[in-house]
Amino acid sequence: MRKPIIAGNWKMNKTPEEAAQLVKDLIPLVKDAKCDVVVCTPAVCFAAVKPVIEGTNIKLGAQNVHFKASGAYTGELSADMLKACGVEYAIIGHSERRQYFGETDETVNKRAVAAIRAGITPIICVGERKEQRENGYTDDLVAYQTLTALTGMTPDEVKKVVIAYEPVWAIGTGLTATDEQANETIGVIRAAIARKYGKRVADRVRIQYGGSMNPKNASGLMAQPEIDGGLIGGASLKAEDFSKVVNF
């Protein structure tokens, strides 16, 4: 019922020329994918990537979006600006944004609402740190982060959102939650959405795993019933590696 979605988070990597070459290499490798394919590039690469992926099954994503339409917000990009560049998805609340740039649950909510109302699909990131998992806070934390991020959205808007569960302790560390751990926590997120918006809505929301998914572990994770895709970091920077995840 839920179409899987694999999104690459390129983070602060690739020049426009390098980005265009990467997607050129990627196109033939994922043309028969049975999932939605998204590349979330640096903003400076939008103009180079968009014409290359035009007419393919690859969609363009951003790594952030601001909650205001315009104003004195140096360094930020509004949803309308992103739309004008051909962006269809936007990562919101990634743990690196929370850790290094002061994102809060409140600003994540504002950005997510701005994105969905502009017709951009938000990929909302939630997840726990290692000590929070060890102390038994994971379930309460991810449920709180998720419901806070969705505050103010209608049930129909919630259906369109993508959630990415990214255990912070597994990002860029090579560590990965077991298939069962990831599935269980994503089930907790879905159950929280069901309590607030009803099971029919929760069953429509796509929830990705975002903790170091790679060609070696993708098939096992994607076999889990609650996992609807992946938010891919390092493995998305090489066409062959990313395609192996896409073609899980």
- Position 212 scores a pLDDT of 83
Distance CA 86, CA 67 (A): 18
Global pTM value: 0.96
Structural domains in the chain (count): 1
What is the three-class DSSP state of 10?
Answer: coil
CATH number at residue 119: 3.20.20.70
Is 8 in contact with 210 (CB distance < 8 Å)? no
Confidence (pLDDT) at 194: 98
- Predicted local distance difference test score (pLDDT) of residue 46: 98
Res 14: pLDDT: 98
pLDDT for res 130? 87
Active-site choice (66, 94, 96, 128)? 94
CA pair distance 128, 59, nearest whole angstrom: 28
Q: Say how many C-beta atoms besides its own lie within 10 A of residue 69's C-beta.
A: 11
Residue 53's φ and ψ, nearest 5 degrees, are -90, -5
Buried b (16+ CB within 10 A) or exposed e, 139-160: bebbbebbbbbbeebeeebbbb
The residue with tokens 């363009």 is 60
Tell me whether residue 166 is one of the annotated catalytic residues.
yes
Query: Whose CA is closest to 60, among 9, 104, 14, 25?
Result: 9
Of the candidates 96, 103, 128, 166, the residue annotated as catalytic is: 166
The whole-angstrom separation of Cα 153 and Cα 174 is 35
Give dist(CA 58, CA 32) in Å, integer.
11
18 a catalytic residue: no
End-to-end CA distance of the chain: 18
Give pLDDT, residue 20: 98
Structural domain of 133 = 5-246
Would you tell me how many other CB atoms lie within 10 Å of the CB of residue 89?
24
Residues facing residue 9 across a β-bridge: 40
User: What is the per-residue pLDDT for 170?
Assistant: 79
Which amino acid, 245?
A: V
> What are the pLDDT tens digits along the chain (248 aa)?
899 999 999 999 999 999 999 999 999 999 999 999 999 999 999 999 999 999 999 999 999 999 999 999 999 999 999 999 999 999 999 999 999 999 999 999 999 999 999 999 999 999 999 899 889 999 999 999 999 999 999 999 999 999 999 998 877 677 778 999 999 999 999 999 999 999 999 999 999 999 889 999 999 999 999 999 999 999 999 999 999 999 99
Amino acid (1-letter code) at residue 210: G
The pLDDT score that the predictor gives to residue 169 is 84
Element at 99 (helix H, strand E): helix 95-101
Query: What are the φ/ψ torsions at residue 235 (nearest 5 degrees)?
Result: -70, -10
